[in-house]
Amino acid sequence: MGTIDVAVLDQDAHGIPAAEYAEILDRRLPEHEVRLAATPDEHRRYLREATVVAGRNIDAKEVSTAENLRLFACNSAGVDHLPLDAFAEQGVAVTNASGVHGPNIAEHVLGSVLTFTRRLDEGRRRQQRREWRRFQSFTELAGSTVTVVGLGAIGEAVVERFEGFDVETVGVRHTVAKGGPTDEVVGYGDLPDVLPKTDVLVLACPLTETTEGLIGTAELEGLPTDAIIVNIARGGVIETPALVDAIRSNAIHGAALDVTDPEPLPSDHDLWGFENVFITPHVAGHTPKYWERRADVLVENLERITETGEYEGLRNQVL
């Protein structure tokens, strides 16, 4: 198979320009044509012309007009927002970015937890005040229990990075029989049983009918009052009003939120006002190496397509 026309849509999953990704692909795919759709006109034209499109958002109408499209390389791990029926009707293969977010997001989780336990935010505040006044850390991780909800690539990467901290780990997943890297694996139905012993609750699951509103008033009340919640899943996994109430009443120690519901979080939302809530604007996955890992998937798949001429059996293929 000869040259493949690859179009990169300009906006990444959260509105971040994809120029760097296009440059990486252009460098690593010299035998193919890589074009960045940087304007609305280019977006429409490249969708009509390209054989492979890399991006996150595309609607059913766009799929129907993409005459040459054979592969949509989704930039996110989740594909529930995509018109999969339209892709199937057009015979377009779809891949996702599962696995590329593990190292970067896991480091974000660890950084958030250490900020809480070592009170690094308080140290920063005292530095800004030029105040040499000692303070005690909140706790130590050693001997604590970390519960990770969702044992996909991200959840497993989180568990791996906690291994050196002498903690007990509990994994929560749909199919307990699959096991996992944690000391204990339980199903979603058993989550209430493990919450009372959970010091750090990490949410790393997809947003589904099962996980939407998974952490509500009852679950927050089930946690110890010194528990920390880190959400790098989706905002809807936590019932936001219940979380606000829990923070306000000191029912938990604090929360680190890279995702929120609603998102973006309105500037007048109550969550902004708490010193023990760390908010980042859905950027846990965005590091320079993330772009390279994302390119790894597409480069590998294009090599396979070039060799076989088939759009089947691709890495991370979901359709």
Cβ(115)–Cβ(137) below 8 Å: no
The reply to whether 263 belongs to the active site is yes
Residue 107, φ and ψ in degrees, nearest 5: -65, -35
* C-beta neighbour count of 170 within 10 angstroms: 24
Alpha helices in 135-177 (DSSP H): 153-162
Cβ(38)–Cβ(7) below 8 Å: no
* C-beta neighbour count of 66 within 10 angstroms: 23
The reply to whether 234 belongs to the active site is yes
**Count of alpha carbons within 13 Å of 261, Cβ hemisphere only?**
18
Q: Where do we find the tokens 């937890």?
A: 113
The reply to whether 310 belongs to the active site is no
Distance between CA 124 and CA 257 in Å, rounded? 19
- 297 token code pair: 């998937």
The conformation of residue 266, written as its DSSP 8-state character, comes to: P
Task: Count Cβ neighbours within 10 Å for each residue of 138-165 and write b for 16 or more, e otherwise.
Answer: bbebeebbbbbbbbbbbbbbbbebbeeb
The conformation of residue 13, written as its DSSP 8-state character, comes to: T
From the candidates 43, 108, 234, 294, give the one annotated as an active-site residue: 234
Distance between CA 274 and CA 284 in Å, rounded? 20
Q: How far is CA 26 from CA 8, 11, 292, 295, 298, in A?
A: 10, 17, 12, 10, 12
Distance between CA 154 and CA 168 in Å, rounded? 18
3-state SS, residue 199: coil
From the candidates 263, 269, 293, 315, give the one annotated as an active-site residue: 263
Residues serving a catalytic function are: 234, 263, 282
